Amino acid sequence: MNEGMIPADLPLRNDLISEEPYGAPQIDVPVCLNVNENPYPPSHAVVRSIEKRIREIAPTLNRYPDREHMELRQAFVDYLAKESQASLTTDQVWGANGSNEIMLQIFQAFGGPGRAALGCDPTYSMYPEYARDTFTQWHTAPRNADFTLDVDRTIEAIRAIEPSIVMLTSPNNPTGTALPMTDLKRILDFCQNARVAGAADGVHPIVVVDEAYIEFRDPGTPSAATLVNTYANLAVSRTMSKAFAFAGARVGYVAASAGIINCLRIVRMPYHLSAVTQATALAGFDHTDDQLAQVGHLRELREQTAQWLREQTYKGEPLEVAPSQSNFLMFGGHFDDRGMIFDEMLRRGVLIRVVGPDGWLRVCMGTDDEMARFREALTASMRAVEEQTNQANQQ
């Protein structure tokens, strides 16, 4: 199979020529810590609920599913009330095949030719691809040196670019940085009166907060979903892939005003959520506590790993670790040869991620045993690269 081979005589869009499919490396190694999954599988109770619900709907698979997925939307509402104390109704939530499809629907509905979207760099590397695929111009405003949002520069960029979409992320990927509510409210308030280039007078940008990793935040930290009833220009994206340990189920959802939800309904594909997907997601919500049972432990493991990383040195300097409220850590800061460290880690059976600004690597929290393997591999890999560098300098 020649993956990536595209015959020259196919009429691929000109702007896609030389582009490559997005995706982290899929390599069969003992320890995979590169795609921010929950390392713990669903409980037996969850598996039994999935089996039961799919058995119930299996005889009806000759019929299309509920394209408005109303039962599942009620489950989203109930979960957000319990997890984030957000008081919403079913016309304020919407589901899709992973938060990736939610984001694509947002760009389809609010982006397009002549429109622009703004993010804050560094951030999730799929955002510019959503923009590319919908012919939306993509712009970024720089973050502060500590990866927090530079609110003043972001507002200046909104004023200058006049985007239809302002894309924020909390916790941010790949840095893990949280977005304080005070910063978010400043941007929301500004966008309520900001212009959108090419749009009619009185049209203002929407602000999207991607909360894919929000369940891993420190206890007591509020969710942007609590602001949906206050700001009609806010959309908050969530996923069941991470904390819920449902990466293979492909279920994402968004909380927003009924007006924003109705815009997404215009661009959604007919029957986009299969009956099997809806049944699987409902089974997950049958056992919310089981699904989230390991979140607290992974949060503690993140803090323990961050402390351990800060105690390590590379080429005589301590490693930097970006403060994170997610299930991953971006670390290094001065890996001028991070590709070599990645390769050495891989040689030792541990897969992490080369992502983010130059000099940094990212690791997702795994099981206790997997994190022990990570620490051993990183220590050995850094020493190996140091030795290779010293030998090269002596020649």
Model confidence pLDDT, tens digit, residues 350-361? 999 999 999 999
Q: With a cut of 70, say whether residue 108 has pLDDT above it.
A: yes
Mean pLDDT of 109-138: 97
Query: What's the whole-number average pLDDT of the chain?
Result: 95
Residue 266: phi, psi to the nearest 5? Answer: -65, -40
Q: Which token pair is 377?
A: 């591999």
CB atoms within 10 A of CB 86: 22
In this prediction, what percent of the chain has a pLDDT beyond 70? 99
Under 8 Å between Cβ of 75 and 285:
yes
Q: DSSP string covering 21-51, please?
A: ---------SEE-SS---SSPPPHHHHHHHH
Q: With a cut of 90, say whether residue 72 has pLDDT above it.
A: yes
- Cα separation, 270 vs 265, in Å, equals 9
- Cα separation, 216 vs 296, in Å, equals 8
Residue 331 one-letter amino acid: F
- Cα separation, 192 vs 158, in Å, equals 12
Mean pLDDT of 80-88: 97
- Cα separation, 353 vs 345, in Å, equals 10
Q: With a cut of 70, say whether residue 173 has pLDDT above it.
A: yes
- Secondary structure class of 216 (helix, strand, coil): helix
Q: How far apart are the first and last CA of the chain?
A: 42
CA 196 to chain centre: 26
Q: With a cut of 60, say whether residue 301 has pLDDT above it.
A: yes
- Cα separation, 45 vs 185, in Å, equals 40
Q: With a cut of 70, say whether residue 143 has pLDDT above it.
A: yes
- Secondary structure class of 275 (helix, strand, coil): helix
Under 8 Å between Cβ of 241 and 99:
yes
Model confidence pLDDT, tens digit, residues 223-259? 999 999 999 999 999 999 999 999 999 999 999 999 9
Q: DSSP string covering 102-113, please?
A: HHHHHHHHH--T
Domains of the chain: 14-32+294-394 (3.90.1150.10), 44-291 (3.40.640.10)
Mean pLDDT of 73-79: 98
Structure-token match 């509402």, residue found: 77
